[in-house]
Amino acid sequence: MTQTAGTLYIVATPIGNLADMTFRAVETLKSVDFIAAEDTRHVKMLMQHYGISNKVIALHQHNEDKASQGIVEKLREGLSIALVSDAGTPLISDPGMPVVRAVHEAKLRVVPIPGACALITALSATGVAITPFTFEGFAPRTASARQTFFKARENNETTWVFYESCHRILACLQDMASVLSCERSIVIARELTKLHETIVKLPLGEMLALVEREETMRKGEFVVIVEGAPKITDVDSELSAEHERVLALLLAECRLKQAVSLAVALTGAKKKALYQKALEINAALHDA
């Protein structure tokens, strides 16, 4: 008699409010042979709340590569396993990718059990254009890397979203303000579904001032949403030869941002168009 292989279930858990656990998720966690968890202590609190008493195994970023093969073997033996993260949907900036990849490569079954996700929860309540949007995971940890990260996305016309921690949110916004226009609209969603849930949409400059002023705005877990850059129209992008000549002269004497600001004041041309042309001029000089 051929043994039937088990199933790997990818189970979403609440991001704060325990009432957001779905019936199907509870039933799945009760029915599987093992629960693979990012933090076994954390998941046991959830299990206790819902009367779940299954065996728990650790699966975190330090052991997931090694643990993947063990999970595949258990599935081949006919055992079923639920994969959970500390909160929300597994694999969304959480461990688990090597396991899911290994299970697919072994041609075994993977079944998602949908539920809460901080990313989608935040996007749904902000009023920011989300078709399309780009999810960037966690922002870089160092100032220089963050500034490079923001610079690369400065002219992105698509809404982009990232996660940030309470320890870095202020520095993150300060670095963002050093690169992006302080008029750029951003959203901070913190402590989603929890007692102190806060969703604020403001221009970047005002948001930075708020977070600097209010200590509570530096607590919790954060989803940051940045509205896409305004699209340059054909009219906006048209620069005369004189506009370009003035800009080139200024670039020879000033840093890029200062040259663009002065060119706007002297010529009256659109800042966006001048900035794009300044980048082109600088790139041509470096290639020469």
Residue 57: pLDDT above 60? Answer: yes
Query: What average pLDDT does range 153-169 have in this prediction?
Result: 94
Please give the pLDDT value at position 1: 39
Please give the pLDDT value at position 144: 95
| 272 vs 81, more confident | 81
* d(C-alpha 82, C-alpha 90), whole Å: 10
Residue 220: pLDDT above 80? Answer: yes
Query: What average pLDDT does range 132-160 have in this prediction?
Result: 94
Residue 112 pairs with which residues in a beta bridge?
A: 10
Residue 3: pLDDT band by 50, 70, 90 thresholds? low
The C-alpha torsion from 34 through 35 and 40 to 43, rounded to 10°, is: -140
Query: What average pLDDT does range 28-43 have in this prediction?
Result: 93
Residue 140: pLDDT above 70? Answer: yes
Query: What average pLDDT does range 174-187 have in this prediction?
Result: 94
Per the omega criterion (within 30 degrees of 0), is the bond before 14 cis?
A: no
CB proximity list for 145: less than 8 A, separation 6 or greater:
none
Residue 2: pLDDT band by 50, 70, 90 thresholds? very low
Query: What average pLDDT does range 111-136 have in this prediction?
Result: 94
Q: C-alpha 254: how far from its chain's center?
A: 35
Residue 211: pLDDT above 60? Answer: yes
Please state, in angstroms and as integers, the Cα–Cα distance from residue 243 to each residue in 237, 256, 263, 287, following that order.
11, 15, 8, 22
Range list of β-strands (E), the chain? 7-11, 34-37, 55-58, 81-84, 109-113, 133-138, 159-165, 185-190, 198-203, 221-226
Share of the chain above pLDDT 90, in %: 68
* d(C-alpha 275, C-alpha 260), whole Å: 6
Please give the pLDDT value at position 235: 46
Query: What average pLDDT does range 54-65 have in this prediction?
Result: 88
Residue 139: pLDDT band by 50, 70, 90 thresholds? very high
Share of the chain above pLDDT 70, in %: 96
State pLDDT tens for residues 236-277: 457 888 888 888 899 888 888 898 989 888 888 888 888 888
CATH of 119-226, one of 2.60.120.10, 3.30.950.10, 3.30.2320.80, 3.20.20.70: 3.30.950.10
Residue 111 pairs with which residues in a beta bridge?
A: 9
Q: What is the pTM of this model?
A: 0.77
Please give the pLDDT value at position 288: 56
7-116: CATH topology is Cobalt-precorrin-4 Transmethylase; domain 1 (3.40.1010)
Query: What average pLDDT does range 92-96 have in this prediction?
Result: 90
Among 252, 243, 251, 248, smallest CA distance to 271 is for: 243
How many residues are present in the chain? 288
Among 174, 170, 206, 200, smallest CA distance to 187 is for: 200
Lowest mean pLDDT among 15-24, 62-71, 78-87, 173-182: 62-71
Compute the 3-state secondary structure of the chain and give helix, strand, coil in percent, each to the nearest 5: 45, 20, 35
> Which 8-state DSSP code applies to residue 20?
G
User: Phi/psi of residue 232, each to 5°?
Assistant: -80, 120
Query: What average pLDDT does range 1-24 have in this prediction?
Result: 90
| 111 vs 270, more confident | 111
User: Phi/psi of residue 132, each to 5°?
Assistant: -95, 175
Sequence letter at residue 281: I
Please give the pLDDT value at position 287: 63
Please give the pLDDT value at position 174: 97
